[in-house]
Chains A and B, each alone.
Chain A
Amino acid sequence: MNDRDISVRAGGWLALGLLLSALLGSVPETEASIQGRLGTDNADCLRCHRMETLAYRDPRTGDIVDLHVDSRAFGHSAHGELQCIDCHEGDFGQYPHPESALGERLDCVGCHKELHKADKRAYTFKTIDEEFALSIHATSDSPKAEGFDCHRCHDPHGFRNSEVGQPIAEIVRADNQICLSCHTKIRDPHSTAHLWLPKRDKHWTSVRCLDCHTPLTDPGQPVSHQILAGADSNFDCVNCHSKEPRLLQRLYQYRSETDLAGSGWLSKAVFNQAYVVGMSRSPLLDALGLSVIGLTLLVLIAHGWGRYRAYLRLKEDRS
């Protein structure tokens, strides 16, 4: 949100007046002349709503309502092909916008339920909605999480779902930015969360918060929306660090190389980062190794017991 938000409605009006006089030519306009029909193309709407300072303070809640729509981001968003009035159905072509139009509430799911294309998605909005309803943001009784909805994370004018072929690093950054915009405390180096996770910041630039903080989804499906409480989240390194040994292998080689390029070899050997978890993971070897060890333990216990019996017999014979 912009720091320079005009926090009083009057301020917005003033800015609007200045803007309009610029738009409509050098002839100074009276209040009356800017009222009425203004056209309903996106460009018409954006004439005003592109303005970064366009905002007002909601008289009921005292919150600042940002009316700015970033036209570039909108153009690139999932909804970039749509007209403003496809979604904003009230008579917004009028200025001032009629009361009837202003009160209208839109939401992602309500709208997408009706869209045909929604059924074709592998991952329907209905599913997302159900998962969201179970997520910590929807179930938390913290006052900060009150009224948490899709829009807290997805700006309808800017949201674009990730697509195949997009660089992973970019996806990770964009998605984690959403979470970190609120969870700023987590970033604090003194934060006690994630202490168990080595290379925390490295992980945050290479995996999404969602990857750990949601239950596993079926292969081919996007990440779930059921964000779990910290305690229920994914600890298990192996979910990531074993699937693709070949991928890790190259990562691993690269790591040591840059590592070894540094200082003395002894300190390099001690503080070596070459071992990435999962490198040595082999379910087969683990099962084999642990079961042989377990069996041996049983045999030894049985052996010891046999010896003890023999010892008792010996004592008996002696007495």
Chain B
Amino acid sequence: MSALYLYPRWLRAWHWINALLFLVLMYTGASMHFSGGGWLMPFDLAVTVHNTAGILLTLGWIGFVIGNLSTENGRHYRVRVSGFFGRLFVQARYYGYGIFHNAPHPFHVSAEMKLNTLQQLSYLGVMYALMPLLILSGWAFLFSVSLPETLLGLPSVWLVAMAHLTLAYLLVLFLLVHMYIITTGETVTTNLRAMITGWHREDEPSSGQTEEAKS
């Protein structure tokens, strides 16, 4: 049994607020996008809620970036170059093959490294590429008057709309995969509990699994 304190309070607070905002934005976004259906929010209300949640998401994102710059948490996002592809391959093989044969986890969570290479990559992509683009396109909507009439010969607001929609779909996709992947810890709920309590506990004796693989 090992326990590591990996998720400081500010990070957990940010994570769950962010998660809630994601759900709200998805629901209100769908309500505006597919407006008029039975289970959707009325359009007018959806616009207001979506705009509010979008602004809060922006603040949250800024907070997250500042947090990573000013605390040690940022180091979890530093990709180590040496052996990068090797680790990527091992991790991918585990998810695609090893996991079905009760192979041991190739990656071990430690205070220095809580994210495996695949996680690192996807979180980096989401937090530092997709999220800022999504936020930017959202704000472009809010201040569409200041946009030029056309961009590259296409109506600029239409471009913004398409970008926002594509990014939104990608982030829904991320959310799905994310919610699934966190169940692949030592036990199904290891990672979820870690994000709630801050403590990463590996309380199942993992020896059984390792031995299995050795034999």
Residues of A within 8 A of B (CB): 195-196, 198-199, 235-237, 245-246, 249, 252-253, 256-257, 260, 266, 268-275, 277, 279-282, 285, 288-290, 292-293, 296-297, 300, 303-304, 306-307, 309-311, 313-314, 317-318
- Determine the chain B residues whose CB is within 8 A of the CB of A249 once the complex forms: 155, 157-158
Q: Which residues of A contact B164 (CB under 8 A)?
A: 280
Q: When A237-B36, A253-B149 are in contact, do A303 and B180 touch as well, CB less than 8 Å?
A: yes
Residues of B within 8 A of A253 (CB): 144-145, 149, 157
Q: Which residues of B contact A300 (CB under 8 A)?
A: 176-177, 180
**Cβ–Cβ < 8 Å partners of A256 in chain B:** 143-145
Stretch from B46-54, B110-118, B119-127, B190-198 at the A interface = B46-54
Instruction: Identify which of B99, B102, B157, B208 gathers the most chain A CB atoms within 10 Å of its CB.
Output: B157
Per-position 1/0 for B65-95, Cβ under 8 A of A: 0000000000000000000000000000001
Q: B55: which A residues are within 8 A, CB to CB?
A: 266, 269-270
The contact string, 1 if C-beta is below 8 Å from chain A, for chain B 156-188, is 011001101110010011001100100110000
Q: What is the number of residues of chain B that contact chain A, defined by CB distance less than 8 Å?
A: 42
Q: How far is the CA of A257 from the CA of B43 in the complex (A)?
A: 21
A-B residue pairs in contact (CB < 8 Å), sample of 17:
A196-B36, A237-B36, A249-B157, A253-B144, A270-B52, A272-B142, A274-B141, A274-B144, A279-B157, A279-B158, A280-B164, A280-B165, A285-B165, A285-B169, A288-B169, A303-B99, A311-B102
CB pair B145–A260 under 8 Å, yes or no, is yes
The 6 closest A-B pairs by CB, nearest first: A289-B169, A280-B161, A249-B155, A198-B43, A198-B44, A256-B145
Q: Which residues of B contact A235 (CB under 8 A)?
A: 36
A183 to nearest B CB, angstroms?
22
Name the contact of A314 in the complex, choosing from B102, B142, B149, B184 (C-beta under 8 A).
B102
8 Å CB contact of A310 from B48, B102, B176: B102
Give the total number of A-B pairs whose CB atoms are below 8 A apart.
116
Interface residues of B (CB under 8 A from A): 32-33, 35-36, 42-44, 47-48, 51-52, 55, 95, 99-102, 141-145, 149, 155, 157-158, 161-162, 164-166, 169, 172-173, 176-177, 180, 183-184, 208-209, 212
A281 touches B33 (CB 8 A): yes
- Least CB distance from A254 to B in Å reads 9
| Alpha-carbon distance between A208 and B124 when the two chains are bound, in angstroms | 51
Pairwise interchain contact B162-A285, C-beta atoms closer than 8 A: yes
A293 & B172 in contact (Cβ 8 Å cutoff): yes
B173 and A296 contacting across the interface, CB-CB below 8 Å: yes
A296 to B80, CA, bound (A): 29
Residues of A within 8 A of B102 (CB): 310-311, 313-314
